[in-house]
Amino acid sequence: MERLDAFMARANTAYYAAQDPFADFTTAPEISQVFGELLGLWAAMQWQAMGAPSPVILAEAGPGRGTLMADALRAIRRMVPDFAAALQLHLVENSPRLRTVQAAKLPGAIWHDTLDTLPRGPLLLLANEFLDALPIRQFVRRGSGWAERYVADGAFTEQPAAALDRAADDGEVVEVDEVAITLTTALAERIAAQGGAALFIDYGPATSAPGDSLQALRGGTAANPLADPGSADLTAHVDFAALAQAARSVGAAVHGPLPQGLFLARLGLFQRTGALARTQQPATASRLLESAKRLAEPDQMGRLFKVLAVCHPALPLPAGFSE
Ligand code: SAH
């Protein structure tokens, strides 16, 4: 018997070490180069608002194939060369396999297993679809008390749990993103003390609500999350409200969560895509425009995906978060 978070940690470590995740799912930076470009320029704007410190750490958590950061760096070099000259690139990635893929695209980067070993100093951090892969705990309301979910022989089993301060009806599941909350709290403390800003993009509701969001994707289709650990990507919705509260409680400023579509549109997704499309053949141009819509349309990735910024309290409201 294994507690759900231990099971999920073991399954995902095995999965990312051995499988090509991008055979099972796709992500925003793989859909359009404009996604990484806009995030790179967002980081450059925060750097300018911070007073252009040099050196500065530009970090990404869970860089996947390195596509987001490669697109970000290309845009930064072209538009804000002073930032390109000042930045030191650090990647937080625990899959040796994906580190090899990232190294081919991002020469000169320094890798870390966790955010804790990033060097001291002002930090700009980007993370797309990183938090959803972190282990969660699940509790079930049983009468006037609570039980916690464990995994045994490919099925859930329950153990009595301590009282939990969450609203739920009898039999309902609530999720606690313990690892993500711990990580966000430490990051927010660091940003409040040493300066910087972090941008998290992931999927989940804007306010905490009961519900079992654990899911497995294998070959692009939903699979049983408890079967064959390591053969499928396990994710859960990110509890942005809990992360925002955790970051604020240690003195960071928090902006969002905001729907991804609104954020990207404000940063110029459609203008940049249009400019790029005009330089391309018609087939490529229409593919680019379709990709932008996929990222921004509410019924595609535009609403379910949210953007949350954790910033030093002295920084002005970051780009994309103002009207
Ligand atoms: N950001 C990329 C990849 C998302 S997949 C994109 O948008 O395409 C999740 C990424 O997080 C992978 O690179 C995976 O190896 C990494 N990852 C997952 N759990 C991790 C953990 N606990 N520590 C460090 N990296 C992790």
> Which residue segments constitute the domains of the chain, with CATH numbers given?
24-134+177-311 (3.40.50.150)
Separation of alpha carbons 47 and 88, rounded Å: 13
Give distance in angstroms: CA of 8 to centre of ligand 1.
14
Q: Ligand 1 pocket, 66 CB below 6 A?
A: no
Q: Ligand 1 pocket, 63 CB below 6 A?
A: yes
Distant-in-sequence, close-in-space partners of 182: CB < 8 Å, separation ≥ 6 = none
Q: Ligand 1 pocket, 19 CB below 6 A?
A: no
Contact 152, 223 (CB under 8 A): no
Contact 69, 76 (CB under 8 A): no
Q: Ligand 1 pocket, 98 CB below 6 A?
A: yes
- Banded model confidence at residue 25, pLDDT cuts 50, 70, 90: confident
Give distance in angstroms: CA of 21 to centre of ligand 1.
9
Residues above pLDDT 90, as percent of the chain? 94
Atom of ligand 1 lying closest to residue 13 CA: 19
Paired tokens of 116 = 């804790």
Atom 13 in ligand 1: which residue has the minimum CA distance?
A: 64
- Bridge partners of residue 89, in order along the sequence: 58
241-264: average pLDDT: 98
- Which range among 17-26, 74-83, 126-135 shows the weakest confidence by mean pLDDT? 17-26
Contact 132, 238 (CB under 8 A): yes
Separation of alpha carbons 63 and 89, rounded Å: 12
Q: Whose structure tokens read 């606690």?
A: 176
The number of helices, as runs of H, and strands, as runs of E, in the chain is 11, 15
Separation of alpha carbons 96 and 185, rounded Å: 26
Q: Ligand 1 pocket, 62 CB below 6 A?
A: yes
Residue 24: per-residue pLDDT: 81
Angle, to 10 degrees, between the axis of helix 67-79 and the axis of helix 96-105? 30
Atom of ligand 1 lying closest to residue 129 CA: 4
Separation of alpha carbons 115 and 189, rounded Å: 12
232-245: average pLDDT: 96
Residue 114: per-residue pLDDT: 98
CA atoms within 13 A on the CB side of 286: 2
- Banded model confidence at residue 323, pLDDT cuts 50, 70, 90: low
Q: Ligand 1 pocket, 202 CB below 6 A?
A: no
Please indicate, yes or no, whether the overall pTM of this predicted structure exceeds 0.85: yes
CA distance to 61, 159, 174, per residue, from 170 (Å): 37, 16, 11
- Banded model confidence at residue 19, pLDDT cuts 50, 70, 90: confident
Give distance in angstroms: CA of 297 to centre of ligand 1.
24
177-184: average pLDDT: 98
Atom of ligand 1 lying closest to residue 30 CA: 8
